[in-house]
Amino acid sequence: MTKATFIKYGDPEALRAEVDGLAALKTLLKQHEIPISTPDVLALEGDALTLGHIKQTQADPNQWHAFGQALAQMHLIEQPLCGWQDDNWIGLNLQKNVLCDDWGLFFVEHRLQTQIDWIKDPQQRSLFQQQLNKVRSRLIDWLNAHCRHFSLLHGDLWAGNVMFDSDQAFLIDPAVYWGDAETDLAMTELFGGFSKAFYQGYQSLNPLSPVYPLKRTIYNLYHQLNHYNLFGGGYLNNCLSGMSALRNIS
**What DSSP line would sit under 132-200, residue for residue?**
HHHHHHHHHHHHHHT---BEEE-S--SGGGEEE-SS-EEE-S---EEE-HHHHHHHHTSTT---HHHHH
Tell me whether residue 180 is one of the annotated catalytic residues: no
User: Max CA-CA distance within the chain?
Assistant: 62
Local confidence pLDDT in tens for the 250 residues of the chain? 446 799 999 999 999 999 999 999 999 999 999 999 999 999 999 999 999 999 999 999 999 999 999 999 999 999 999 999 999 999 999 999 999 999 999 999 999 999 999 999 999 999 999 999 999 999 999 999 999 999 999 999 999 999 999 999 999 999 999 999 999 999 999 988 899 999 999 999 999 999 999 999 999 999 999 999 999 989 999 999 999 999 999 8
- The tens digit of pLDDT for each residue in 164-184 reads 999 999 999 999 999 999 999
Catalytic-role residue among 47, 102, 156, 173: 156
* Domain boundaries defined on the chain: 57-248
Spatial distance between the Cα atoms of 118 and 109, rounded to a whole number of angstroms: 13
Q: Helix, strand, or coil here: 79?
A: strand
Question: How many secondary structure helices (H) and strands (E) does the chain include?
Answer: 9, 12
pTM reported for the whole predicted model: 0.95
CATH number of 57-248: 3.90.1200.10
Mean pLDDT, the chain, integer: 96
